[in-house]
Structure 1
Amino acid sequence: MAVLEKIRSKTVFLIAIIGLALFAFIISDFIGKGRFSNHTPNEIGSVNGEEVPIDAFRQQVENATRQANGQVSSIEAAKYVWEQNVQQILLNQQIEKLGLSVEKDQILAILAKTPLAQNPQFVNEYGVFDANKFTNYLATLKNTNPQAYAQWKMQEEAIIEDAKQRMYFSLIRAGLGVTNTEAEMEYHQEKDLADISYVALQYSSIDDKSVKVTDSEIQDYIKKHEKQFKQEAYRNIQYIVVSEKPSQTDIETEKESLLKLLQPEVVFNSKTNKNDTIAGFAKTKNIKDFVDRHSDVPYDSTFVNKDNLRSSYADTLFNLPVGKVFGPYQEDGSLKLSRMIAKQPGGAVKASHILIAYAGSQAATPNTTRTKEEAKAKAEELLAQAKVAGADFAQLARENSEEPGAVYSAGDLGFFSKGAMVKPFEEFAFNNAVGTIGLVETDFGFHVVKVTDKAEAVNIATISRKVDPSEATINSLFSKVTNFEMKAAQNPKEFANVAKKSELSVLRADNLHKNDDQIIGLGSNRSIVQWLFQKDTKIGDIKKFTSGGNYIVAQLVKQGEEGISSVQDAAPMVKPILIREKKAVILKEKAKGNSLEAIASANKTEVKSAANLIMKNPTIIGEGREPKVVGAAFGLKQGQLSKPIDGENAVYVIQLTSATVAPALDNYKTYAETVEKLRTDRAAQGILKSLESTATIKENLSAFY
């Protein structure tokens, strides 16, 4: 029954990175829930005709959202899960085409490497996983508990899927080998050098306005590069936002309420049948009860130094005399009233430390093997080094402390008050003079501690109240938004003018896609995106939304459908390319000549030089990245003049002045490994992209999320 409980509760499917960082199923323990529930006719989409059932998909989205602790929206989780499903299906389809299979002995070999292999029920007298015992257990389980056996079969399918995918990626890796010639080429691209003289005729020397580009030329460019201009359906909007913020009247009303707390309050005492006078905030002796009763934030009795007084009014607050009150003042969306309760000279200490942990201490990591005695000995050694005149305590901490982040903080803990540190550490810091260095033992390990400064600390009581908009303010804001919406709807073309007259700013959000959730300036607003892609939403339509305490009135101003970009949409990208091409034609004519000097003279420029050019990083200092130019340099003979080259930033004519070929190596193994890793990385990124680009994929996320 113990194993049966594991079947029911312990093991879960995990989505993991398989092989070359691609998604696949793996198991983390033994038996558990499967990824897919029963197939239903409803589908979220399909991949090459294979449907993705909606019920199972929804469960996966819920799991993904839960694992993200609610930090992602449903549509973001759905997009993530959809992509995993697409990748999974495409991989499985390829595996099926190749006819890859996994046999029983392979499954058992995989299980032998899981925690299951440590289960006493399935090990022999030598403590080794016994496949026969496990097989017999499954045979018994099939007869005694068909439901648990069915769950195991689902896990078995996952193991088989995982193994097939590993085989698939192994086949791919086998085809990514690097020849010695390729490795040698990589070496020379990195080590060979070229020096050149050159003339550069900058594209910027010709005014863009003087170069004409027609719509037909843009259209021709799009046709030649259609893959680059495939687009999703998109929508552009303009909108106004009105936030439910408190008015100045609301703020003044709350200020008056806070000021009343400074005055004594007369209340009826039912026990004595008389009126009692209760001291106000300025005079009350029962600070904690008073603050807790009147503040959104409870009383904090901690003493803090000025550095830790987190307020834009820190100087004013820290310098308040004891008993004096400051405020009301506005900060972080709240109104505050603060009173100096007490001051404590030396109440804050600044210290640095070097922490040495040992096995069993609270600061130990799984890799910590040092004994307590060894830790103490090392700490005493560091203590001796720290006490040497002129010793750099910060550097000792960077090199030796086992506190996370010590390499950056150099062991500096900053200022802290009593109660912030464990008792032994606190006592040493507060009971010793500045400059004292000593050894302290705590549950975290051994600390070499240096007291670096002491400062006055203060305790300030603060009544803090968040200022919310009043009902009158909310009604006024709602009326303002509603009036704007009505006027804009009457004349949609005047949206911006109506907003201006209403003293509202118009904002834009472009290129919104049907599965988007985030809108620039608005954050998560899925409802707006869904409205934009409804069939009956047309250009010019206006609608009001509420989101996160904001009223939003949005208008659809432009839309584009899935397909190839229009001339209008592609122009911002294509026009600069065509302008540069036309400039290159003009400048190439100007770059004709028998020598660099003649070309430079004709164009009123100068001959420049560039040294130590390499193929691997084709950059010319002063010009920028120029792969065509650097590549051409390595194809010239010494002294040879190139033809005009249309580079990234200019048209160049170059002359090779010298070339240095790196000496041959005995072997090029290091370079072969570099090329192979590069190919592997590219394959990991490119395999699924390639499969997706040729697949027939239909997705319908926006209908469900």
Structure 2
Amino acid sequence: MAVLEKIRSVQWLLFLALVLLGIGMIGFLVPFDAVQALLGQGNSQSVGEVDGTSISVVDYQTALQTRRDLFNYTNNQSLETEVWNDLIEKNILTDDYMALGLDVNQEEFDEIRFGEHISPYMQRTFYQGGVTPEAKENWRNTFSQMYNDEVGPGRKNYEGYANVIVAKRLREKYNTLVERGIYANTLEAKYEHTSGQEKVNIDYVFVKYDAIPDSVVTVSDSDVRAYYNQHKDDPEYRQQKGRNIEFIKIPVEASQADIDAINATQQAVADEWRTLEDDSAWVAGQAGRYIARSMKEKDALTEGDKALFAAGVGNVVGPYEDGGVSKVAKIVRIEELPDSTVSCRHILLKSENKNDAAEIEMLTARADSIKRRYKAGEDWDDLCKRFSEDPGSASNGGVYENFPRGQMVKPFENYCFDNPVGSIGAVETNYGIHLIEVTGQQWTSSTAQIAEISVPVEASTATKKGAYNSASDFTINFNNLEAFRAAADTMGYAVTEANNLRQGASNISTLRNASEVVGWAFQSELGEVSNPILIGNEYVIAALSKVMEPGTPPFENVEEEMREEATKEAKAEYYLEKLAEAANLDEAAQIAGVEVKTGRNISLKNATVPGSGASQEPQVAGLAFAIPSGSMSLPIKGEAGVWVIAPTSDIIAAEEKDNYLDEQDQTTTRMRSGAANRLFNAMKEGADLSDDRQ
């Protein structure tokens, strides 16, 4: 009876255990998002909002996983950024697509994948090696195989790719409509010409704000606060969601004692290995440490690998450190193996339209001209820097070394493999015209088969524990921003700032794979100090120094900038009043303590005063054209300082033209450039976008 009474007294615990066990079983059998829905969470959890429409955690995570399964992203940040932007785009632009009747039918879908007009997205993402007939056929077969695989993952992958390709195509078509809808008329073209050609000359007195001591004016805290109240909603101060942190790194690295112990162990291995006549059985016993690898002699770049080739076959070398690994190794054999590679250098002249025969002819002629200059004695590297439009190689002389077949587009590759060393010629590819010089060819190479015993040079358990204890003690003892800064300074840790962190970022400042640090920053309070976060071989300790939420910034976030601007405004008012007393430029110069200078050929288009050291000054340029020659302006509050100007010439008129077609084309091109992105950014701003991802 006593046992039964005991059971009755704790029966509520047994019931709770059964409930938890049941939920655990559900977790194994039911997807996570479904469990969330059962518990009443599901779609109520949001990662953001677009124009009042919530983006749920489930939708976001599902989209991430789908895209991750389809493409190889170099890092999570790239994946998360693209998926997030695509979800925003879908929410903002879908109604516009429908209203405009934008669609992608099956015929167009086939055309943009492997027809005559491959879409830009397909070219970037799928045809990275170049759009060739062979590549098109490969992709046609690949998509067909995926589509016909109804049992395996093929059909699902096909639909995933199709959704992405169609979405990207709709955006391309939308962008094209936006850009083609922008047009510069004749009047705008004429203004473009006139504003650049009309000139005026002035004498001026210019007092730079930076040259005026702060002590000249008095700016109180209330003045700064007043300036803030007046300007806090200006666009340049609009705040984006972000965080500022400061962090230190405490390395977790092998101590000298650790290194000595590893070297002693490896030395014993090397000594034993040297005594063995038949080491096959011994090597078999080195499981987990033994590595067999091959290396071409031309690739032996480290001191250890060079020593291996110098020692020859059968001689044990080491221990030596290579890339954080202690190695003992020997060459088992060396053999000559096929190794078809070539080296070249090239100058790329890009084409805007590969189907434009006139443009290709012009680029070919330019390549021939560069070739003649090179043969006449001009330096290739200099020619490459001046003319090549290949961003990947222009800075190093256009060099590509030891590449095999299949790595370059076919025409480029064929020229390098099919022509002898020293050949120079022009080759056309999808990118434009390449002027290529073949600099080397290799058909075989000495290749060593290497046996290697490797042990990572890393901290021992005791050293790792010591590093963690040091990091943990730091966070416990210095757990606010002020204490963090003072302790880091006293203890000699370098403090690194990482400002304007965005949610989802994985790389910050000098840290890679820092998503855990970023996640902490967006979940913490101002001034908080993190626990030690292990990234690679370092413990990172961060302190949250600033919190920025979207919209109008709080005073403390922009106090420094506002004080600087309030001081600048006070300096301007001070000199506007002083210079107003001057009867001529000489008096103005005397009051300001500067010299009268001359500015020539000022135009409205550039709005700069040559020789002044100031950038754009639209008010100064405008008044230079408005004031009659021989007259002096009142003091002008400019962007970089206070000015007094006196035009010394009448307006130098622009040359009249019969038409302004060139200016019309140039203006239209400039207006169209980036217009679609500017429009979409404005739409995002108007959609009251919130990003609550962690």
**TM class, shorter-length:** 0.5 to 0.7
Q: Report the more deviating stretch, 647-656 or 61-70.
A: 61-70
Q: Report deviation, 1:81.
A: 2.6
Residue number among 172, 187, 199 corresponding to 1:181 in the alignment: 187
Q: Report deviation, 1:518.
A: 3.8
Q: Report deviation, 1:583.
A: 1.4
Task: Find the counterpart in structure 2 of residue 220 from structure 1.
Answer: 226
1:80 matched to 2:75? The reply is no
Q: C-alpha distance in 2, partners of 1:117/1:604?
A: 67
1:89 matched to 2:91? The reply is yes
CA contact (8 A) 1:525 1:547 kept: yes
1:480 matched to 2:465? The reply is no
Task: Find the counterpart in structure 2 of residue 580 from structure 1.
Answer: 568
CA contact (8 A) 2:197 2:655 kept: no
Q: Report deviation, 1:547.
A: 3.1
Q: C-alpha distance in 1, partners of 2:69/2:448?
A: 41
Task: Find the counterpart in structure 1 of residue 645 from structure 2.
Answer: 654
Aligned residues: 557
Task: Find the counterpart in structure 2 of residue 634 from structure 1.
Answer: 625
- CA pair 579-341 structure 1, distance change in 2 beyond 3 A: farther
1:522 matched to 2:511? The reply is yes
Task: Find the counterpart in structure 2 of residue 470 from structure 1.
Answer: 460
- Name the SS of the counterpart of 1:231 in structure 2: coil
Task: Find the counterpart in structure 1 of residue 206 from structure 2.
Answer: 200
- CA pair 303-609 structure 1, distance change in 2 beyond 3 A: same
Which has more radius of gyration? 1
The amino acid of 2:84's aligned partner reads W
Gaps of 5+ in 1: 1-37, 120-147, 267-276, 356-366, 369-377, 430-435, 440-446
Q: Percent identity?
A: 21
Structure with more of its chain in strand, by fraction: 1
Residue number among 54, 57, 60 corresponding to 1:57 in the alignment: 60
Structure-1-length-normalised TM-score: 0.62
The amino acid of 1:241's aligned partner reads K
Q: C-alpha distance in 1, partners of 2:251/2:328?
A: 26
Task: Show the 5 A alignment for 1:85-234.
Answer: 85-93=87-95, 100=99, 102=101, 111-115=106-110, 170=177, 173-174=180-181, 176-227=182-233, 228=235, 229-232=237-240, 234=242
- CA pair 464-653 structure 1, distance change in 2 beyond 3 A: farther
Task: Find the counterpart in structure 1 of residue 297 from structure 2.
Answer: 303
- CA pair 554-172 structure 1, distance change in 2 beyond 3 A: closer
Q: Report deviation, 1:232.
A: 4.4
CA contact (8 A) 1:318 1:458 kept: no
1:245 matched to 2:245? The reply is no
- CA pair 159-653 structure 1, distance change in 2 beyond 3 A: same
- CA pair 325-588 structure 1, distance change in 2 beyond 3 A: farther
Q: C-alpha distance in 1, partners of 2:331/2:238?
A: 66
1:278 matched to 2:276? The reply is yes
- CA pair 591-312 structure 1, distance change in 2 beyond 3 A: farther
1:689 matched to 2:678? The reply is no
Q: C-alpha distance in 2, partners of 1:223/1:623?
A: 32
Give CA deviations for 1:215-242 in whole Å, capped at 9, x if unaligned: 3333333333333334345544444432
Task: Show the 5 A alignment for 1:118-517.
Answer: 170=177, 173-174=180-181, 176-227=182-233, 228=235, 229-232=237-240, 234-265=242-273, 277-278=275-276, 298-300=292-294, 302-304=296-298, 310-311=301-302, 328-335=319-326, 465-488=455-478, 494-496=483-485, 504-512=493-501, 514-517=503-506
Q: C-alpha distance in 2, partners of 1:247/1:116?
A: 61
Q: Report deviation, 1:653.
A: 1.8
CA contact (8 A) 2:635 2:642 kept: yes
Q: C-alpha distance in 2, partners of 1:634/1:246?
A: 71
The amino acid of 2:207's aligned partner reads L
Task: Find the counterpart in structure 2 of residue 623 from structure 1.
Answer: 613
Give CA deviations for 1:546-596 in whole Å, capped at 9, x if unaligned: 333433344445545555322221122222222222212222334343332
Q: Report deviation, 1:185.
A: 0.7
Give CA deviations for 1:368-427 in whole Å, capped at 9, x if unaligned: 9xxxxxxxxx9xxx9xx99x99888969x989x9x998988778777999xxxx9x9999
CA contact (8 A) 1:295 1:464 kept: yes
Give CA deviations for 1:210-268 in whole Å, capped at 9, x if unaligned: 433233333333333333334345544444432321111111122223333453559xx
- CA pair 614-65 structure 1, distance change in 2 beyond 3 A: farther
- Name the SS of the counterpart of 1:551 in structure 2: strand
- Name the SS of the counterpart of 2:519 in structure 1: helix
Q: C-alpha distance in 1, partners of 2:396/2:492?
A: 49
- Name the SS of the counterpart of 1:523 in structure 2: coil
- Name the SS of the counterpart of 2:296 in structure 1: coil
- CA pair 202-59 structure 1, distance change in 2 beyond 3 A: same
Task: Find the counterpart in structure 2 of residue 71 from structure 1.
Answer: 74
Task: Find the counterpart in structure 2 of residue 14 from structure 1.
Answer: none
Q: Report deviation, 1:516.
A: 4.4
Residue number among 530, 533, 538 corresponding to 1:545 in the alignment: 533
Q: C-alpha distance in 2, partners of 1:171/1:523?
A: 38
CA contact (8 A) 2:630 2:647 kept: yes
- CA pair 624-448 structure 1, distance change in 2 beyond 3 A: closer
Q: Report the more deviating stretch, 670-679 or 45-54.
A: 45-54
> Superposition RMSD on alpha carbons, in Å?
5.8
Gaps of 5+ in 2: 1-36, 115-154, 347-353, 356-363, 405-412, 425-435
Task: Find the counterpart in structure 2 of residue 48 from structure 1.
Answer: 51
Q: Report deviation, 1:530.
A: 3.5
Q: Report deviation, 1:613.
A: 2.4
Q: C-alpha distance in 2, partners of 1:667/1:412?
A: 45
Q: C-alpha distance in 2, partners of 1:213/1:637?
A: 37
Q: Report deviation, 1:340.
A: 10
